Structure 1
């Protein structure tokens, strides 16, 4: 924290040759000095690569915001003239960092894979860890590559909403760092893995949810670390965004394997969920929170690596970041045309 002292002789006026600091407040001719601080980015994950301060300095906490009906307690955009440029810069740095780690990770694995027609896709210890969960998708059948081939059919092979359990298996294998097996599936001519990326029957449940859940957690809790004034007495728990984030990260629905690592953090078990007020305090153990943020980041670059391998189109990290921050704190976004019938989301 830094404190700026500025000499002021007359309320509202500066002495000749003396600059008035915005931290210099006047009341009845008395100089009042206000402490100012920069966000403590040292605890924020990848702070040497990601411009977290470009995001956090554009958000301010307001309790029972009278400008919102009904009134809401949360972080809100400050509406600075530089906001769009700052937030788009933040989005670019997080996109670049994820892609850099993704490329580095991909270089650790073979460029090409054989396409086996049978055998176990993942080891038995993963099967035993997940097969007894309610509505399990990780089963002895989904462990077999021939099951994936058979269910895709032929002429040409394809997947749809009837294979939501296979999308769940992909989510689990991303969390379990089974990238070698996933890369094999991505290259397999009889396994159209890209068709499991986005699935929907009123609500979506493809393996893109791994990215969406991890990105929201990663951004939210890094921002929370930059706001120590909200840590006192658990003040952050009054924020609407905190309530919605924890609820989304852990709630139960169809094919929800993307929630498993988040449930483990908040409730201590892959299959456990509950009211937000029963979740573990994420700030109670700083080391545990840092490990959680690292886990979220690993999910992001593993997802990117697999999506690229599958040829998933329109993989727009800047747009994903803008959409996520917009949903969390109502930062203004807009669609930007990038070509014929091509649009992306950016901060506006």
Structure 2
């Protein structure tokens, strides 16, 4: 049963879909779920969207009641991130500072005055010159009030590096469901988080720097897997191994998998939880790069199309889709492998803090949550799938909570329509037609 089936009208949507796998899939006719254009399809989709948006609003209101109804305006010198919160999020902050290619990623040894620390709290007063994941100054309210500066091409990191670091911290708090510091800083009249909702390095680049990528990635994964839940013939034990009836070979699943996990984008933070669930390494899917076998590539004038619109989703079986150097990039330990290594270090009589510090510095953390890899609907992955769907839903709700605190409206109907028209298919490319939740 789909997640929250009692509140969201999944069947109203999926009753208008049918699985179709051509003998020779192509860009125009991929293996996918197709709209059937039944007489009531438009009304059914609208009913689904209304129920979905209504459920977000209701859950947002419920979650908001867990915190103070009104937060006082904080002083700029107040410490916003508590010691506990800082220690909780530091490993992920340390990870993305190493991943990024910008001035604040990993300061060079010549600039560094101190030794790096993961779980020990920063006590330095040298700003970003120390190598701590979260410098002490960056825990204060003042750092979260940095303003976005409009920039021309190639000037994003020159003008917005420190502000970008701050918004990456906000996204990290969202991933860890640490909402109180976010709600506290949103009470300040000078907070500029709204300006960072949708941002790019410049106007001619992909908009992949804002916090909208957090809820869009979570929403897309949530929609994809719940829609597939309504088609058990594609994943149950009697048919999941069939090449003609495998949900993993659909454009819907493959596009979701890749777009929720790809790398080489301005901000990769939103991709981390999805990589961990699907078992995708940090460099497996690179934005704008097609590593699939040539027989699936789409050509024009002898050149490969590598953009998202023309990527060959739904053309290849899952084995070929995942063939892009999956096992050559890095080993992806699951929760059991991590537990074994942790126990071995403990047997060496290392202090508990040092055990975690060693594992995190070696980046030996859980990178694959599925017990049975590459198959979320495997019966042995059922519990993990349910936890993941719940987590994605919570991200959507928490992003909506932050938006409401900023008096920003997220247009969930537009996002749902965008997903349905982009990830699902229609006979002959027929448009499903736009819809509005409120006329």
Output the TM-score relative to the length of structure 1.
0.75
- Please say which of residues 66-75 and 237-246 is displaced more in the overlay: 66-75
For residue 375 of structure 2, give the secondary structure of its aligned residue in structure 1: coil
Structure 1 match to 2:2: 44
Q: 2:206 aligns with which of 203, 206, 210?
A: 203
Runs of 4+ aligned structure 1 residues displaced above 6 Å come to 65-68
Does the Cα contact within 8 Å between 1:159 and 1:192 map onto a contact in 2?
no
Query: Is structure 2 residue 229 aligned with structure 1 residue 225?
Result: yes
Does the Cα contact within 8 Å between 1:198 and 1:207 map onto a contact in 2?
yes
Aligned CA-pair RMSD: 2.5
Deviation at 1:145, TM superposition (A): 2.5
Structure 1 residue runs of 5 or longer lacking an equivalent are 1-42, 153-157, 337-343
Deviation at 1:280, TM superposition (A): 3.1
For residue 399 of structure 2, give the secondary structure of its aligned residue in structure 1: helix
Structure 2 match to 1:238: 249
Structure 1 match to 2:377: 283
Structure 1 match to 2:192: 192
Deviation at 1:322, TM superposition (A): 1.6
Structure 1 match to 2:284: 274
Structure 2 match to 1:178: 178
Deviations 1:276-310 (A, max 9, x none): 52563212301100110000000111111110110
Map 1:43-192 → 2, pairs under 5 A? 43-64=1-22, 70-114=28-72, 115-118=74-77, 119-121=79-81, 123-133=85-95, 134-135=99-100, 139-140=134-135, 142-149=138-145, 151-152=146-147, 158=148, 162=160, 163-192=163-192
Query: Is structure 2 residue 416 aligned with structure 1 residue 321?
Result: yes
For residue 233 of structure 1, give the secondary structure of its aligned residue in structure 2: coil
For residue 199 of structure 2, give the secondary structure of its aligned residue in structure 1: coil
Structure 1 residues 335 and 233: CA distance shift in structure 2, 3 A: closer
Deviation at 1:55, TM superposition (A): 1.0
Deviations 1:151-209 (A, max 9, x none): 33xxxxx5556233333222211111111111112111222221111112211121111
Structure 1 residues 99 and 345: CA distance shift in structure 2, 3 A: closer
Distance in 2 separating the partners of 1:113 and 1:96? 26
Distance in 1 separating the partners of 2:88 and 2:7? 33
Structure 1 residues 266 and 237: CA distance shift in structure 2, 3 A: same
Deviation at 1:319, TM superposition (A): 2.3
Structure 1 match to 2:313: none
Q: Larger radius of gyration, structure 1 or 2?
A: 1
Structure 1 residues 247 and 68: CA distance shift in structure 2, 3 A: closer
- Please say which of residues 126-135 and 63-72 is displaced more in the overlay: 63-72
Query: Is structure 2 residue 270 aligned with structure 1 residue 258?
Result: yes
Deviations 1:3-55 (A, max 9, x none): xxxxxxxxxxxxxxxxxxxxxxxxxxxxxxxxxxxxxxxx2100001010011
For residue 250 of structure 1, give the secondary structure of its aligned residue in structure 2: coil
Structure 1 match to 2:318: none
| Structure possessing the higher relative contact order (Cα contacts under 8 Å, 6 or more residues apart) | 2
Structure 1 match to 2:299: none
Output the TM-score relative to the length of structure 2.
0.61
Structure 1 residues 183 and 67: CA distance shift in structure 2, 3 A: same
More strand as a share of residues:
1
